[in-house]
Amino acid sequence: MSELMLTTEGDTFVVVKRRFEAPPEAVYRAHLEPELIQQWCLGPEGWTMPVCINEGKPGGKLRYEWSNREMGAGFFLTGEILELDPPHRIVHVERMHFPDPTPDNHVVTTFAADGSGTLMTMRMSLPNTETRKAMLATGMARGMETSYQRLERVSGWKAAS
């Protein structure tokens, strides 16, 4: 039930769906309050977020800085909040800095009541090839774990061909 659903819409968008066992108010707040964001928005093991700025209002600025002490690596994200409709919807724009900024990614996140929980849907631009390569280079520097999970998909492709 709380399984992550990740799908692509053509080569332009990525849509992520995830259910949380908490009301929309709580999930919405966890996406805007820096002290909460710093506890969960960390990606793979080994990363921390020493700096988190989220002004939490339309027109407000975002700045998230990640660091990996073991790797001696870091990168950051900047952005702006475009629209807020508490506790249903957050629209923001963000870009990664590696350290050159990637093209703006326009992200719409919605929170819909689903029984006693929340169904969150996040729709964002699919980064271009250059951005994906930069992200892969950062994310995979610790190892090549991502390829381990390819087994199923590749075997599926092989079997179908």
Partner 1 sequence: MVPQAMESLDRTLAALADPTRRAILARLSLGEATVNELAEPFAISQPAVSRHIRVLSEAGLIVQRVQGTQRPCRLANGALTELDQYLELLRKALTQNYRRLDQILAQQAERKDRKT
Here the contacts of 35-39 (C-beta below 8 Å, separation 24 or greater) are 37/64
Radius of gyration of the chain (CA): 17
Region 41-70 residues binding partner 1, contact defined as CB under 8 A: 41-45
| Residues in 121-150 at the binding interface with partner 1, rule: CB under 8 A | 127, 129, 132-133, 135-137, 139-140, 144-150
Cβ-contact 124, 105 below 8 angstroms: yes
Angstrom distance (rounded) from CA 140 to CA 122: 24
CA-CA distance, 60 to 49, in Å (whole number)?
A: 19
The reply on whether position 119 binds partner 1 by CB under 8 A is no
The answer to whether 12 contacts partner 1 (rule: CB under 8 A) is no
Contact flag: residue 36 with partner 1 (CB under 8 A): yes
Cβ-proximal residues to 122 (8 Å cutoff; 6+ apart), any chain: 15, 16, 17, 107, 108, 109, 110
Could you say which of 1, 10, 12, 40 contacts partner 1 (CB under 8 A)?
40
Q: Provide the minimum distance between the beta carbon of 8 and partner 1 in the complex, in angstroms, as a whole number.
A: 7
Task: Name the residues that contact partner 1, by CB under 8 A.
Answer: 2, 4, 6, 8, 14, 16, 18, 20-22, 26-27, 30, 36, 39-45, 127, 129, 132-133, 135-137, 139-140, 144-151, 153-155, 157-159, 161
